[in-house]
Structure formats: structure tokens, C-alpha cells
Amino acid sequence: MTPKPILKLAGGFTVLSGLSAAAEAVFYGSRLDESGVVQESLFLPLAFIFAAMAVTAVVFAILRVFLK
């Protein structure tokens, strides 16, 4: 497997991360309840999970090139 499909996968995860972060900002913003706790949805953790998956895919693509 060449690094190109892995980088496409990383690009897809990056797009999903951006969409999740944008959805969090649009639908929830930075709402605080009465006690000062941030009210968030599932979109914020999904944004971080997709970003971590994108970084992991890029690392695998780089390793694929140098360990070939």
C-alpha cells in the first residue's frame, strides 16, 4: 500500500474533525450553566477523536515512506 490512500484517509478525518468542531460552535458555542460548567455535545469529543485519527494516519504514511 502506498502512502497516497493513507493521506486521503487523513484528509477525510481532517474534514470530519473540522465539521464536528464547526457543528459544536454553531449549535452549542461556549455555553455555561449556572455553576460555570461548560455544556457541550458529542461534537467536541468527536472533533478531537477525528483529529487524532488524522494525525495517526499521517504518521503511518510517513513511516510507510521511510521504512520501505
Output the pTM of the full model.
0.83
Structure confidence by residue, pLDDT tens digits, 27-49: 887 677 778 777 778 898 999 99
Which pLDDT score is estimated for 61?
A: 94
Of the pLDDT bands very low, low, confident and very high (cuts 50, 70, 90), residue 57 is: very high
Nearest by Cα to 10 from 65, 66, 54, 43: 54
CA atoms of 27 and 41, how far apart (whole Å):
9
CA atoms of 37 and 31, how far apart (whole Å):
8
Nearest by Cα to 6 from 46, 44, 55: 55
CB 31 within 8 A of CB 41: no
